[in-house]
Structure 1
């Protein structure tokens, strides 16, 4: 059965509205408007309501980059927000990048909660957790705060440095930071006989490793899942696969996990953000496997 999951009760984040290929969001005290290719429907609010409420708007310049336009020049380029639940208390440094990103994908909070809860169910003392395509480290922070020996792997040095800042902001330490092509790292860990009790993969549709290695989701994800299967502890483990790619369905994710883990019964679904104006914004397909003894 397809499950729809969305973050709940996040005081520092709100999706206000979405539509016409844009989304209007509040991060802390700042309200931003950014492009959103999934929002193909009409906006729920009038354009004048957007203009009245927003502080900063991203204007595309070319296919992948653009500029942020501020209503008030004194508004910051960097600021902090907090994610606090019964299990987690994390802080993030946000920033206006030329690629429309701000350093966090809010829908991933659902996975952070799942990771923290799963780690606390493991019987292995200080279980090992691996975050692949790890970006600025939300999942890494959640795993470390839950007590896991955490390894964070991303091919872009700048975002790994950003993740290190988030670790310090959250009062954490001792995450292992690795700047490397994810599939090369996984294959090396397999050769070394390493095992992890928890793994998350959140691969892009397209990407490049630090030495120019090419990643294309549909070409490489099956190989990656097969290698990851060899890294999971046979006694107890959990796995999260998250994909954000237009046209990638939950059935694809289910088939990927079922063929690499014969006999397993993966859960699959979609992540979304609930707009205050009413629309549900889809932001990725997920699959999960768990073998927990508790």
Structure 2
């Protein structure tokens, strides 16, 4: 079943408008303008409204880096926002990086909701969850807050430290932090006979492990998926595969999961997007996910 999903309960985030290869967003009380290669249409609001509303604008020096320009020097370089799902509240520290990122991808709140719902429905007393390519830990925090024993794997030490800071801000503890190449980690876990009730993958199009290992999505994702499904607990499990690559459609993800796990049940696939207040929809990746309860 192909779906279109957008976050519905992330009050600290708002996509105000997007177009002309930019997006106007609110994170907490701070409004930013950032580049957005998917926004090929015209802006819904006038340029004067964008100029009036924003506090900070990202100016690119190249396709991969740039600098932030503040309208008011009193605007903070770092600040916190909250995500809430029922009795679970997560906090994130945001910061302006030279790569235009802030430390969070708000469209992933859809997946955090799914993680929390899945874990809370398990009969296993303390389910085990593995988060691969885990970045600053939104999915790891959601899993831990829902009661799972959580392992967080990313190849970049600095972002794992950032995720650990988010853990503290959220009043959580005991997430297992691992700085390692994700594919190497998974292969080792398979050899050890490890099992997980939940696995989350959000792989980049390109990447490098801590020892120079190369990752290319279309070359490595099939091998990764075949190893990952071997780690799933047979009785209770969920899996989420999320990709942000202009060459990947939800049909590709659907086929990839079905070929790697022929017995899959309850498979959902589709596209994540952010609904702008101005009316347009901004696509931000495709997903495939499935769940099995006891």
Interval of TM-score (by shorter of Structure 1 and Structure 2):
over 0.9
- Report the CA distance between 1:263 and its aligned residue: 2.6
In structure 2, C-alpha distance between the alignment counterparts of 1:192 and 1:141, rounded to whole Å: 25
TM-score, normalised to structure 2's length? 0.98
Equivalent residue, structure 1, for 2:153: 153
Equivalent residue, structure 2, for 1:135: 135
Contact 1:87 1:113 in 2 (8 A): no
In structure 2, C-alpha distance between the alignment counterparts of 1:263 and 1:78, rounded to whole Å: 46
Contact 1:238 1:290 in 2 (8 A): yes
- Report the CA distance between 1:125 and its aligned residue: 1.4
Please say if 1:26 is aligned against 2:26.
Answer: yes
In structure 1, stretches of 5+ residues that fail to align are: none
In structure 2, C-alpha distance between the alignment counterparts of 1:133 and 1:174, rounded to whole Å: 19
**Any idea what the Cα deviations from partners look like across 1:46-74, whole Å, max 9, x if unmatched?**
11110000000000011200000000112
Residues 1-294 of structure 1: pairs in structure 2 closer than 5 A:
1-265=1-265, 266-293=267-294
Runs ≥4 in structure 1, deviation > 2 angstroms? none
Contact 2:9 2:84 in 1 (8 A): no
- Report the CA distance between 1:87 and its aligned residue: 4.8
SS class of match (1:48) = helix
Contact 1:156 1:210 in 2 (8 A): yes
In structure 2, C-alpha distance between the alignment counterparts of 1:117 and 1:135, rounded to whole Å: 22
In structure 2, C-alpha distance between the alignment counterparts of 1:184 and 1:87, rounded to whole Å: 36
TM-score, normalised to structure 1's length? 0.98
In structure 2, C-alpha distance between the alignment counterparts of 1:135 and 1:75, rounded to whole Å: 25
Contact 2:65 2:100 in 1 (8 A): yes
SS class of match (2:115) = helix
Contact 1:25 1:31 in 2 (8 A): yes
- Report the CA distance between 1:235 and its aligned residue: 1.4
In structure 2, C-alpha distance between the alignment counterparts of 1:124 and 1:183, rounded to whole Å: 27
In structure 2, C-alpha distance between the alignment counterparts of 1:27 and 1:201, rounded to whole Å: 25
State which drifts further: 256-265 or 40-49: 256-265
Equivalent residues, number: 293
Contact 2:270 2:286 in 1 (8 A): yes
In structure 2, stretches of 5+ residues that fail to align are: none
**Any idea what the Cα deviations from partners look like across 1:97-116, whole Å, max 9, x if unmatched?**
00000000000000001001
SS class of match (1:59) = strand
Q: CA RMSD in A?
A: 0.8
